[in-house]
Chain A
Amino acid sequence: MTKASTRAESDVALSDEDILELLPWYAGGKTSAAETAAIERKLQGNAKLQAELQLVRQEKQVSRESVKALGEPDPALLNKMLGQLDSVRQLPPIAREGTEAQPGFLARLLGFVPSPALRFAMAAACLVIVVESAALLKLAGSESEQSYQTASAPAAAAGPELIVHFQPDARLSAITMLLSDLDATVVKGPMPDGAFVIALQKDADANAAMTVLRGHADLVLAVDQGS
């Protein structure tokens, strides 16, 4: 890094609001060098901000002590879990092009694309095109909270949400049919753990839909109610 760029980095200007937002991370040493320098400039001679930092440190200390007081999980839990491992099937890695023989279309589709957002966009677009044959009308929400809506269902579809893990070798066509049967739409995913969030129609019975999904063990690994 050059001296000029170092100076530019350290010259970052933060508003009072920015400082207040960053103080909890500053207190834990989790701000960048530029942010730290800017915060320390603001702290000098600012009694109000110094008092705020003191409160942050006290909250942090309380948080740490309160967790210590909680103790630990039952020591027998590890053995219990080890006893369960044989009954839990480990998933294979998401197949990459040319590495796995005959990976499912969904796995290949999602596996090729480096960006999670782009993966979701592709999967959602395919699902929308195949299942509903409708135009992709709207990209809503923030960058990391994308959802797609179609002319046929969407916003009104904001019914119960389910978190679904699909089988890695499941075919997209089979998944689209299943979702079509449920009148469900993919609204988010893949999540860090590989799950997708699907939205049912407004008045749909989430438990009934979960039963249907669980009945397709060839396509669905797991399903839970969404947040």
Chain B
Amino acid sequence: MKLAGSRGKSGDGTAEVALLQRVAGGDRNAFAELYRRLQRPLFGYLMKLVREREMVEDVLNETMMEIWRQAARFEGRSSVNTWVFSIAHHRAVSRLRKKRETALDEEQAAAIEDESPTPDEHAMSGDMSRLIAALMEQLSFEHREILHLAYYQEFSVQEIADALDLPANTVKTRMFYARQRLKALLEKSGVEGMVA
């Protein structure tokens, strides 16, 4: 029985492949066009992982330079999207490690001073969407990443597996535990009846 959970790709990616081929040939206009297509998804992804805007833009810059450098080596084994996100992932991890922030665990993340309302305040106000958003920010790096790739980028299981270099089953179980953790935080915030 196959449980791929991986129907299709995020678009067929033909235009991106063509752009990448032009980038590999040193076409700066193609590079600019590719950046315009990638900037929002990459920026959103990196903001969820790295969080600090200045550092995010540095990592985005590094990712695009790596794409420029490696474009000729893209061999189409995965989609352009997953190849690009793989580079961004490694760059983000590397940057965070340099800042020794990868050890930031959920409790420490929650302790970061933030002027926005706390999850409890959201719970008391009954604003469920804001509460879920606040609690998502308390998740670990890996859990934030998997939720973002599945929910926002709408990557399939296999695309996430390709981008993060993980087995497909690990992608599914990581997502499962990310959601379990989120539900536990919801319950802790006093929200009842959300856990199926």
Contacts and interface: CB of A to CB of B under 8 A. Distances in A.
B187 interface: no
A14 B31 contact: no
Nearest to B48: A67
B7 A31 contact: yes
Tell me the interface secondary structure of chain B in the complex.
Answer: helix
A212 interface: no
B51 to A, nearest CB: 10
B148 interface: yes
B35 A21 contact: no
Nearest to B23: A90
Contacts of A3: none
B5 A63 contact: no
B171 to A, nearest CB: 9
Interface of A: 12-14, 18, 20-22, 24-25, 28-35, 48-49, 51-52, 55-56, 58-67, 70, 72-74, 77-78, 80-82, 84-85, 88-94, 116, 142-145, 163, 191-195, 224-227
B123 interface: no
A103 to B, nearest CB: 13
Interface in B148-182: 148, 150-152, 154-157, 161-163, 165-167, 170, 172-173, 175-176, 179, 182
20 contacts: A18-B3, A21-B175, A22-B3, A24-B150, A30-B6, A30-B8, A30-B155, A30-B157, A59-B132, A62-B136, A77-B57, A85-B31, A90-B26, A91-B72, A93-B24, A142-B167, A144-B166, A193-B87, A194-B73, A224-B90
Given A22-B3, A82-B28, 15 more contacts: A22-B172, A28-B150, A30-B155, A32-B6, A58-B128, A62-B136, A65-B133, A72-B43, A84-B61, A92-B72, A94-B73, A144-B161, A192-B83, A192-B87, A193-B66
A11 to B, nearest CB: 10
Contacts, number: 189
Contacts of B154: 28, 30
Interface string B177-196: 00100110000000001101
A29 B5 CA distance: 9
Given A90-B71, A192-B162, A49 B136 contact: no
B32 interface: yes
Contacts of A67: 44, 47-48, 148, 152
Contacts of A91: 69-70, 72-73
A215 to B, nearest CB: 20
B70 A194 contact: yes
A32 B5 contact: yes
Residue of B3, B78, B93 with most partner-chain A CB within 10 A = B3
Residue of A67, A80, A144 with most partner-chain B CB within 10 A = A67
Contact of B72 (A49, A72, A90, A116): A90
A31 B193 CA distance: 27
A227 B57 contact: no
A51 B186 CA distance: 15
A144 B152 contact: no
Given A192-B86, A193-B83, A224-B90, A81 B65 contact: yes
A14 B196 contact: no
Interface in B92-114: 93-94, 97-98, 102
A73 B7 contact: no
Contacts of A226: 94
Contacts of A25: 5-6, 150, 156-157
A63 B75 contact: no
B90 A195 contact: yes
B93 A55 contact: no
B163 to A, nearest CB: 8
B132 A78 contact: no
